[in-house]
Amino acid sequence: MSTTTTIETISKPNVGVFTNPEHKLWVEESKPNLDSLKKGKSEDLPEGYVTVAIKSTGICGSDIHFWHAGAIGPMVVTDNHILGHESSGVVLATHPSVTHLTPGDRVAIEPGLICNNCEPCLTGRYNGCEKMQFLSTPPVDGLLRRYVNHPAKWCHKIGNMSYENGALLEPLSVALAGMERSGVKLGDSVLICGAGPIGLITLLCCQAAGACPIVITDVDANRLSYATKLCPRAKTHKVDTSLSPPDCASAIISTFGDSKPRIALECTGVETSIATAIHSVKFGGKVFVIGVGKPDMSVPFMRLSTQEIDLQFQYRYCNTWPRAIRLVQEGVIRMEGLVTHRFDIEDSVRAFETSGDVKSGAVKVMIQSECDG
């Protein structure tokens, strides 16, 4: 048995938040169990791993979808499954092979585990790893637990950053990947479709990047009001769902002042919203889809073709976490206003019910764990 460096304060049961194919949601004891955590057994803390006490975890739309629908495309919940992939916490124990982290370090957890051998990994685009194990995506259990064992190289130091901001680095990474691949530049006119958490963080990124004007859309007036609090210079447009995509696009263009945006950042994944974005951008513009939608959908092909509009997509992120940490630490991106509701991990069922209820007014729901460390 290998030894570990640890701080001897692991005492509370390791509970996790589960769903299953019957769409049930519950909290119960999970792995690694308390006994193995205390003993630091080598099979539970392999070479290169650390034990992290999770302090904050954000509920993502994908968590709600796995609970309600049981699947996202080919990723299907087939058994009891632990949710959550937006987490931060404190290191409790380290394997002797780990030298850059020590017990007591505050870290944000990057949830994707890669093979390091396939072409995407070797060319630096590891989000396309052919053997990716992304925590919370079935069948790989997620981070909504009190304690997890995780590879140290995917635990990023966050210094004195709050645990909530540490957890929000994951959705910020999604937005940063979109910003980089879409090519938003200083002075670009940008349309953001959707004022959910990803849309709002994308709004913060566009503001920091100097995009102008910025218009953000949603079907919910309360979320649009929230957007103007985060970015007062952004214009808002409440989507009229009775309109066709071309008519909805005309109304959005009017909000811009009768000029068309160069880039649309689509953060909903909804078919009609993507079509509206395509009808909104100027000749030679770009529609960049960050949101996740249904497996098959129709798009206005001839509009794309005759207007030379680029339609581009994103799958998660890569190489974004160090940049995200710098942006938050330097105050360039301020996400403190995004969290509207907080729950203890033992009360996670109510947290999910709140996050999944459009009438709750929730933007980002955070689950907190009063654990050791």
**In whole numbers, what is the pLDDT of the chain averaged over residues?**
94
- Predicted confidence at residue 11, as pLDDT, reads 75
Question: What's the CA gap between 368 and 285, in Å, rounded?
Answer: 42
Query: Over the stretch 181-217, which tens digit does the pLDDT of each residue have?
Result: 999 999 999 999 999 999 999 999 999 999 999 999 9
* pTM greater than 0.75: yes
DSSP states of 273-303: HHHHHHHHSPTT-EEEE-S---S-----HHH
The CA radius of gyration of the chain, in Å to the nearest whole number, is 21
Of the CA atoms within 13 Å of residue 34, those in its CB half-sphere come to 11
Query: Over the stretch 217-257, which tens digit does the pLDDT of each residue have?
Result: 999 999 999 999 999 999 999 999 999 999 999 999 999 99
- Predicted confidence at residue 373, as pLDDT, reads 46
> Over 70: is that where the pLDDT of 8 sits?
no
Task: Answer for the pair 267, 193: CB distance below 8 angstroms, yes or no.
Answer: yes
Query: Over the stretch 87-140, which tens digit does the pLDDT of each residue have?
Result: 999 999 999 999 999 999 999 999 999 999 999 999 999 999 999 999 999 999
Question: What's the CA gap between 151 and 48, in Å, rounded?
Answer: 6
DSSP states of 350-361: HHHHHHT-GGGT
Residues in contact with 159: Cβ distance below 8 Å, sequence separation at least 6, in sequence order: 106, 329
What would the mean pLDDT of 278-301 be, rounded to a whole number? 96
Query: Over the stretch 305-364, which tens digit does the pLDDT of each residue have?
Result: 999 999 999 999 999 999 999 999 999 999 988 999 999 999 999 999 999 998 999 999
- Predicted confidence at residue 44, as pLDDT, reads 60
Task: Answer for the pair 150, 52: CB distance below 8 angstroms, yes or no.
Answer: yes
> Over 50: is that where the pLDDT of 42 sits?
no
What are the tokens at 237? 């447009």
- Predicted confidence at residue 358, as pLDDT, reads 87
Query: Over the stretch 160-178, which tens digit does the pLDDT of each residue have?
Result: 999 999 999 999 999 999 9
- Predicted confidence at residue 4, as pLDDT, reads 56
Percentage above 70 pLDDT, the chain: 95
Question: What's the CA gap between 286 and 263, in Å, rounded?
Answer: 5
Residues in contact with 183: Cβ distance below 8 Å, sequence separation at least 6, in sequence order: 263, 286
